[in-house]
Structure 1
Amino acid sequence: MLSHIHAKLLIVDDLPENLLALDALIKGEDREVHQAQSADQALALLLEHEFALAILDVQMPGMNGFELAELMRGTEKTKNIPIVFVSAAGREMNYAFKGYESGAVDFLHKPLDSLAVKSKVAVFVDLFRQRKALGQQLEALERSREEQELLLAQLQVTRRELEHAVRMRDDFMSIVSHEVRTPLNGLILETQLRKLHLAKDNADAFTLDKMRAMVERDERQINSLIRLIEDMLDVSRIRTGKLSIRPSQFDLGQLVGGLIENFEAQAAAAESRIEFEAGVPLAGVWDEFRIEQVVANLLTNALRYGAKSPVQVRTFEQGGMACVEVRDHGIGISEHNQQRIFQQFERVASSQSSAGLGLGLYISEQIVLAHGGGISVHSVEGEGATFTVCLPLPQSLRENDR
């Protein structure tokens, strides 16, 4: 089972004939024997290879086997290599003791017993393989542990994302039920009231002036429902990559100016007004309906959160882009909320009205990005907010401005 682990053996002796004899005795197909005739050669090999066993001759010129063993024990790379000493000297106990004191695990005497040498080498080779196999198993376990920790972290992120998605779904359903119920309740009450008048044959309730007021109320409620449905449809189109962009040439300043005129009644209802400053003509090729949708959303928010203060709107050219800036002087947006208002179903909680699904800015940003532009916000709490939409101008117009 451990035969795939290759073992390297080091034999050190100053006599070539001794090296050849020992090599022939311990070599095998699953082993690689390296020879050294001096301590210096041995040290060079020890630094280059990982050995399962070192067999050192005690008596060598220059650095002897004991000194080489002490060097090996003092070096991090070689300190755990088992050392077996070989000596032709007598079997005096103090000589062997010196060998063990130098870090040897065994001591062999010449002439060598071939069976004993083979047996001892086999034991150390097996120990090396078991140690290597254990090390590989530990490395595999560590890798597995790291992979499990990474997987666990990914699962935790996924769990948090799922929990967030569930909360968003629940919040969305709650918002939808509330927002849809408001215009529906108005329509239901109007219908019940009219049925009551009809049941009593009350013709005075259906004069021309009263009918006009009824139609206007019905139209407002129906438009609210249509807006909610369109927002949800736009989110679905964005998610599936099917948001339609139908570009045509028009002037951005003229579009914004016309839209502001249509917002006069809404501004009056909010006890505010919209001040418009048109810059140079900004003719570009964009989707007129979609850009109007973006600007209308910004105007609606500015009137809703503007604390009845005037709303300033201006169009201008900057860096080859046609820009619309909508500024209010209301409650403002905290730095934290500025990071989330462009996300789906996010609405900034305030004492002001927070009607809507929290989709307007998300849809607006996606529309602007689809045109190759950008939308940004600058705000300080209590000091209002400024939203800026920039759309790329045609190359010819940019060159004319230079």
Structure 2
Amino acid sequence: MLKPGIFALRSIKIRVTLFTLGIFMLSIGLLAFYARHVLREDMQNLVGAQQYAAVSMAATGINEELEDRFRALKMVGETVNPALMGNTPAMQTFLEQRPIFRQLFNGGAFITGLDGITLASLPYSAERIGVNYMERDFLVAALKEGKASVGRPVMGKQRLVPLFVMAMPLRNAQGKVFGALAGVTDLNKPTFLDKVTNAPYGQAGSYALITPQHGLVVTATDKSRTMQPLAKPGVNTMLDRYLQGYEGYGLTTNSRGVEMLTAAKGIPAAGWILGSAMPAEDAFAPIYAMQRGLLLGALLLTLVAGALTWWMLRRQLTPVFKAMQSLSEMSETSLRTPRLPITRQDEIGELFGAFNRLLETLDTRETALRESEMRFRNLIDNNNAAILQTDPASGQILDANAAACLFYGWSPVQIRSKTLQEINALNPDHITEKRLATDSHERNPFAVQHRMANGEIKTVEMHSTPVTVGSQTQWVSIIHDITQRARTEQRFYRLMCEQTAILNSRIVGFVKLNDRKLVWGNVAFAEMMGYSLDELTGQSTKIVYPSEQAYRTFAEAAYPVLQRGEVFRSEIQYRRKNGSLGWYDVVGSMLDPQSGESIWAFVDISARKQAQAELVTAKARAEQANRAKSRFLAAASHDLRQPLSALSMYVGVLQSKTTPDNRSLVRKIQACSDSLTEMLTDLLDVSKLEAGVVTPRLTDFVVEDFLSALVSVHSAEAQSKGLCLHLRPCATVFTRTDQALLTRIVGNLIANAVRYTEKGGILVACRRHAGAQWIEVWDTGVGIAADKTEAIFEEFTQLGDGAHLRGSGLGLAIVAKTAELLGLQIRLRTKPGRGSMFAIELPAGQAHVQAEPCAPQAEPRPLRIGLVEDHTEVQQALVMALENTGHEVLAATSSQALLLRLGKWAPDIVISNHRLDGHETGVHVIDAARHAYGAQLPAIILTGDTDPALIHSMAARGIAVHSKPLQMDRLQMAIMQATEPGFA
């Protein structure tokens, strides 16, 4: 009997009832849809025509308003006298005496000349006078094309409000344009357009005034849309049609996905379009209400029809329900099936009679099937071979004999709960392949791996045959255990594969020789030599040697080793078939000393040999490039320092002319100049250290004096950060090293400590460690992570956050390279968050007597200075700086020009740049001046060249060398030293 729930849908009553309801609902739904479609189209045409009429009326009103304003502009413009254009006050008075502009233009009006600059503005407070509007389209049309126009809606230049401008050209009596008169409409204030946009169409409709040529909304009922861009082409189809000139109405979907009924009408005076839109839901509301009523009535009629249909079917199908109940009770007994009672002679009675005859036939077949099943069961259960009966679709084991249960280790109940997928240890693709073979009646046995109850994997041989039982196909499989045989075959196969893979390797060549003739070889060896295996087999190995002598030499070296039973290995050069030579790593051994057979392995090492040769060549090129780099440094140093010298001189001049207002700015410029100088010095120092052009000059000096000077240099920066920079006394410590290079090392360490310390202090001290003296710099800064202690000594490496990332990132790289040059060690101790300690080793030095300090010198006297500098900026800076200190400067760009300027009066000193245009140098300039005014004439060479040989040669000529970038105090000191023999 049918039960409620999932079986209820199978009931004839339910299906007929639902079908009847479906027909009613479908018919009424189609009718409602048709009525809605027809009425909607009529309603759309009616409402659309009304909406278009309203838009047309509003557009006509706006067009008349615009034409009134054009007429006003033209009328006033005809009264403008061209003579007033040069008289701004008169023009302003003329404009203010025209009250019509205040009535028609809420943003005022203004007059411009032919250059687009405003000459008069109404109101005056609009701050338009003097503003150039030449780039605006309305002025381009008025001044250049002589046409009146309405401009693009824009944001005002002065007050930054949305507005549009109407412009009219001003013409003289000859009709020539001499200016423009423009009226401004401020869209943020009430305008004549608000009469339309503030009166929405319908309950939810709205207006929008757009300028198609600019793709903008001029104004709209929704003021937030003012000056907003229009939707892109393709987004709103009706908008695209309106922009192409269509005037009318239509349905469209806006950018929010809402269906709208729209209408649009053009405004010829401005080339604008007035559009209105209202939601289609409002326009078609009567249709939707009618449709809802129709559907509600259809639902009520459908329910009535369904109830009547249900009652009729229940009455007609009562005998069927009773028969179903009887059949359900019969199925619960194992006796002979009773027959159904026939209560009436109609179609249902005939159905019951046919069913009773079918039951008679089924009883006869069931008896025969039961006897056949007993015979099959005896055949399976008494067989000594393991037999499985399975479902090919699901792999479920349907039955198994006693031998199968014993083999797999499961009970009959357990094994019937398994599937072939569970006991099969093969991958699914392999299982599918075997299943297809069985389905195609291929009776050849195949081997698979099965999993036993204890987890053991055994290899079995299966003979599977598809058998049809009724309408179902099943597999009957006879299984034999072949695990041991499969393992033996697998070991043998693996061994053969490994040997074959080794011999067929494309990396190592193998050959077997007998009396130095090739008996066998692999493909790799043949490819190495450029032959085929057929060409090599049976040939003497002499074919691959470059000469007879090489053939004999190899035999004399190799075969005595092989005869002793040892392995011979060597690197040999062979000739390939194409005549080229290659290098090979050869290893061989004798198979049997009595038979003369040997086995050899070959590896092509030609690429390695070539790489070694290329490495030697590359090393030579690198050394040559390093020498070229050294030559480049001298020239690069000069060129890079030139602009910095000019900057430094100009800053020096500014410092002597500072006022309270610019003193801070001058200090900042000086700091930037010093930073650039320091960065350039760092870069050049690194380059010089890498090029090996720096030669240490060892001297003995007192470490405490040396450190005191460095600490005093960095004290100001430390104090500015609120840090304590302390030097521990070490008066008894002497060292012997290059003082200038050590200054760079310790100075960089102290600068880094100040830079990366935010609170606490820095300690500089001398301390003995491991039998040597060290300078140690301690700080309480951020510290360094353990994995970064090596990276910090690399070039351009900086750690920490952005607040600490200053400088070039070369300081510690210079420290490391300079220490390596001096042969000094560096120690580092650090703890993140606690601080760091950097230490530099000090070589032992000898004590010496310090010289008495020199007495203070007098102030420098004004000098007559001859200056040669071909770089204009640097020359001007030098002249200004030197004249600012009281000197008379005669500047030139060559020696000949200098002598002409000096005339017969000798200068007190000659200062010249070293590298000049052409082939002339500063040495040539000084030689020419000394030839003219005496060999003892003091002279100074200015250069950015760091070549030590240049400095030595200048000293031999009695010429002082001053390095760029120039600093005025240092240059003044050099001048005094050169001109005052007693000046120290």
Taking the aligned partners of 2:563 and 2:718, their CA distance within structure 1 comes to: 84
Name the residue aligned to 2:602.
139
Match among 834, 854, 861 for residue 383 of structure 1: 834
Cα drift, residue 288 of structure 1 = 2.0
Taking the aligned partners of 2:658 and 2:685, their CA distance within structure 1 comes to: 40
Taking the aligned partners of 2:798 and 2:759, their CA distance within structure 1 comes to: 20
Taking the aligned partners of 2:777 and 2:811, their CA distance within structure 1 comes to: 15
Equivalent position amino acid for 1:338 in 2 = T
Cα drift, residue 218 of structure 1 = 2.0
Taking the aligned partners of 1:379 and 1:213, their CA distance within structure 2 comes to: 38
Comparing 303-312 with 283-292, which one deviates more in the overlay?
283-292
Match among 704, 707, 710 for residue 253 of structure 1: 704
Q: 1:49 to 1:353 in 2, by over 3 A?
A: closer
> Could you give the per-residue CA deviations for residues 6-53 of structure 1, whole angstroms, max 9, x where no partner exists?
59xxxxxxxxxxxxxxxxxxxxxx9xxxxxxxxxxxxxxx98459xxx
Match among 314, 325, 330 for residue 781 of structure 2: 330
Cα drift, residue 209 of structure 1 = 3.0
Equivalent position amino acid for 1:139 in 2 = F
Does the 8 Å contact 2:737/2:843 carry over to 1? no
Comparing 224-233 with 275-284, which one deviates more in the overlay?
275-284
Does the 8 Å contact 1:323/1:389 carry over to 2? yes
Structure 2 unaligned regions, length at least 5: 1-511, 518-550, 552-561, 567-588, 619-639, 848-984
Equivalent position amino acid for 2:810 in 1 = L
> Could you give the per-residue CA deviations for residues 229-253 of structure 1, whole angstroms, max 9, x where no partner exists?
0011011101110124233322112
Q: 1:328 to 1:139 in 2, by over 3 A?
A: same
Structure 1 unaligned regions, length at least 5: 8-29, 31-45, 51-76, 84-123, 159-179, 195-205, 398-402
Does the 8 Å contact 1:304/1:352 carry over to 2? no
Taking the aligned partners of 1:82 and 1:279, their CA distance within structure 2 comes to: 81
Structure with more of its chain in strand, by fraction:
2
Cα drift, residue 286 of structure 1 = 2.1
Larger radius of gyration: 2
Equivalent position amino acid for 1:298 in 2 = L
Does the 8 Å contact 2:708/2:727 carry over to 1? yes
Q: 1:319 to 1:251 in 2, by over 3 A?
A: farther
Q: Percent identity?
A: 24
- Is 1:373 the counterpart of 2:824? The answer is yes
Superposition map of 1:267-282 within 5 A: 267-282=718-733
Name the residue aligned to 1:56.
none
Q: 1:373 to 1:220 in 2, by over 3 A?
A: same
Taking the aligned partners of 1:328 and 1:384, their CA distance within structure 2 comes to: 5
Comparing 264-273 with 241-250, which one deviates more in the overlay?
241-250
Q: 1:273 to 1:5 in 2, by over 3 A?
A: farther
Taking the aligned partners of 2:679 and 2:831, their CA distance within structure 1 comes to: 29
**Greater RCO structure (CA 8 Å; 6+ sep):** 1
What is the TM-score of this pair, normalised by structure 2? 0.22
Q: How many residues align?
A: 236
Cα drift, residue 307 of structure 1 = 2.1
Taking the aligned partners of 1:314 and 1:362, their CA distance within structure 2 comes to: 22
Q: 1:268 to 1:139 in 2, by over 3 A?
A: same
The residue matched to 2:838 in structure 1 has which SS?
A: strand
Structure with more of its chain in helix, by fraction:
1
Taking the aligned partners of 1:393 and 1:4, their CA distance within structure 2 comes to: 74
- Is 1:217 the counterpart of 2:668? The answer is yes
Taking the aligned partners of 1:365 and 1:389, their CA distance within structure 2 comes to: 10
Q: 1:211 to 1:288 in 2, by over 3 A?
A: farther
Cα drift, residue 318 of structure 1 = 4.1
Q: 1:376 to 1:47 in 2, by over 3 A?
A: same
Taking the aligned partners of 2:592 and 2:711, their CA distance within structure 1 comes to: 87
Taking the aligned partners of 2:785 and 2:684, their CA distance within structure 1 comes to: 29
Cα drift, residue 370 of structure 1 = 2.1
Name the residue aligned to 1:314.
765
Q: 1:243 to 1:5 in 2, by over 3 A?
A: farther
Does the 8 Å contact 2:658/2:666 carry over to 1? no
Q: 1:5 to 1:341 in 2, by over 3 A?
A: farther
Equivalent position amino acid for 2:750 in 1 = L
Name the residue aligned to 1:242.
693
Does the 8 Å contact 1:373/1:390 carry over to 2? yes
- Is 1:358 the counterpart of 2:821? The answer is no
Q: 1:3 to 1:309 in 2, by over 3 A?
A: closer
Taking the aligned partners of 1:358 and 1:331, their CA distance within structure 2 comes to: 17
CA RMSD of aligned residues (A): 4.1
Name the residue aligned to 1:20.
none
Name the residue aligned to 1:340.
791
Superposition map of 1:151-230 within 5 A: 208-230=659-681
Equivalent position amino acid for 2:824 in 1 = G
Match among 392, 396, 399 for residue 843 of structure 2: 392
